[in-house]
Amino acid sequence: MSSVRDVGGSTVTDFRFAVPPLPPLHVSRPRLLARLDEATTNALVLVCAGPGAGKTVLLADWARRREAPVTWLALTHEDDDPPRFWQQFLEGAQAAGQEFPPVAWDTGHTVELLDSVYGRSSPAQPRLTVVLDDAHVLTDARILDGLDRLVERWSHRVQLVMAARSDPLLPLHRHRVAGRTDELRATDLAMTATESRALLRAHDVELADDEVALLVDRTEGWPAGLRLAALRMQGSARPAEFVALFAMDKGSVGEYLTQEVLARQPDDVARLLVETSFLDEVTGPLAEAITGLPDCGAVLAALARTNLFVIPVDVTQTAFRSHQMFREVLRHLADRQSADRVRLRYMRAAQWYRRRGDVPGALWWTVRSGDRDAVRRLLVHGGLAEVFVARRQVTTTTRAELRRVVDDAPAPGTSTTERLEHEAARWAIDAVTAGPTGRVSRPPLPGSTEAAPQVQVTIVLARLMLGQAAGATDAVDDAAEALLNTTSRTR
């Protein structure tokens, strides 16, 4: 075995357990290093965040500053095997200076063996910090039981520091209540504007304060995204041009997220993410309606739990959003699909909102689909009545899009029935887009009294809503009376 000079002047006698080197142009993060220093009395420190969050770099920086002994286990899926894991654990501890009795090298590693090892070894040995990097690969109950025993019984001998993409399968709730843990999450690891500026300067990149703020906002402080952005800006005469740039070429954030995150997902999961990326927020039932895939809620929750750039937006974790830059990648991939597939997703979203009685939501996605006939049908056949009864407001953006629909004229040769529905839709759109100074009426189409009952109701209801918007009492009274007459005739 080789000897490696490492942490605080101590000697680690096996390179397998040495703290990894820091990357070039590394920028230390004092606020997080201080948090880790404050946690040295805890039995367990958990650093949990997604890929590229800087977990390994932060812990390596912290470990290199420590005077107390540290051993580092860079775990792989092959290490999720009790004999292999505990052999490495004990060898790493020995390499950092701890001494164990011969029983420690028994191949039948169990929880009781740990008690035997630490119960028989000298208590005068310094407390060891063991960093378990990529600890999320550990799922075997015999390993987890042993780690739990270390936290609960032997924390005066060993401190565990676990870097993971998802919470380890330990009884964290029990250790939290007992005050044994400290935790750093993705929100803690997100880089501040000050840290981002320091990173940019390390790459000889200078940006104005508002440009740094925009970059931090777009990346949500994601360290890998900021570092990749700095690398792209490095050496550029106009680095600010890269701040709002979306790119998918080699070395870009888009390439990283595509290869390191999306490409590692099963096909159905990738499809779920791409096909729902047009939504700012998504729930399981909405995702199922759009994609036709089962158990979307559980999939989204699992992605959020494993910090794969899917973030819960409510305390019950039923609605989710994607990280901004990840959503840009997903939308880029979605937009490369055929226009028909994109329109189909919009219409499926509209139908889902319609079934829930959310006409404004249904209107928005129907408008986005570009199917103006579907917009008219939605308003004329019950949609306007639901907006009126539920007092639901249509967004300003939807109003602007609807004005384009109302300007359409019926095509030549359109049947009387279709022309009447077209006119009713114009009335309805006037009603949902009118402001306080909106017009009270529009000239009716000849023969409108012969229209289908629902079409007549829509026109009269629109007149009533327009009168209300304009504060025209007489018009409201006339429309209300006409509405009563119309509905009585249709019974």
393-426 pLDDT per residue, tens: 777 778 777 877 766 677 777 777 778 888 888 8
Same domain, yes or no: 153 and 28? yes
Question: Which residues of the chain are under the pLDDT cut of 50?
Answer: 1-10
The predicted-structure confidence for 140-156, as pLDDT tens digits, reads as follows 999 999 999 999 999 98
Same domain, yes or no: 13 and 153? yes
Domain-terminating residue out of 157, 173, 189: 189
Q: Which residues make Cβ contacts (< 8 Å) with residue 390, sequence separation at least 6?
A: 357, 359
Give how far the C-alpha of residue 409 lies from the chain's centroid of Cα atoms, to the nearest Å.
43
Domain-terminating residue out of 156, 174, 189: 189
Same domain, yes or no: 241 and 318? no
Contact 132, 89 (CB under 8 A): no
Same domain, yes or no: 172 and 200? no
Contact 384, 418 (CB under 8 A): no
Same domain, yes or no: 181 and 197? no
Contact 394, 363 (CB under 8 A): yes
pLDDT of residue 250: 73
Tokens of 35: 């948090």
Number of domains in the chain: 4
pLDDT of residue 407: 64
Same domain, yes or no: 52 and 184? yes
Q: Provide the whole-model pTM.
A: 0.83
pLDDT of residue 240: 86
Q: Indicate whether 433 belongs to any domain.
A: yes
Can you give the residue range of the structural domain that contains 330? 259-335
CATH number, residue 276: 1.10.10
Contact 2, 15 (CB under 8 A): yes
Q: Indicate whether 351 belongs to any domain.
A: no
CATH number, residue 32: 3.40.50.300
Q: Which residues make Cβ contacts (< 8 Å) with residue 443, sequence separation at least 6?
A: none
Helix (H, G, I), strand (E, B) or coil at 4: strand
Q: Indicate whether 253 belongs to any domain.
A: no
Tokens of 452: 């289908």
Buried b (16+ CB within 10 A) or exposed e, 226-238: bbbbbebbeeeee
Same domain, yes or no: 185 and 201? no
The rounded distance, in Å, linking the Cα atoms of 191 and 30 is 12
Nearest to 163 by CA among 187, 136, 186, 140: 136
Same domain, yes or no: 123 and 67? yes
Same domain, yes or no: 273 and 221? no
pLDDT of residue 136: 96
Domain-terminating residue out of 158, 189, 220: 189
Q: Indicate whether 64 belongs to any domain.
A: yes
pLDDT of residue 279: 97
Same domain, yes or no: 322 and 387? no
Q: Indicate whether 250 belongs to any domain.
A: no
Same domain, yes or no: 8 and 139? yes
Same domain, yes or no: 32 and 180? yes
> What type of residue is 259?
Q
Q: Indicate whether 254 belongs to any domain.
A: no
Tokens of 311: 């973030």
Q: Which residues make Cβ contacts (< 8 Å) with residue 472, sequence separation at least 6?
A: 440
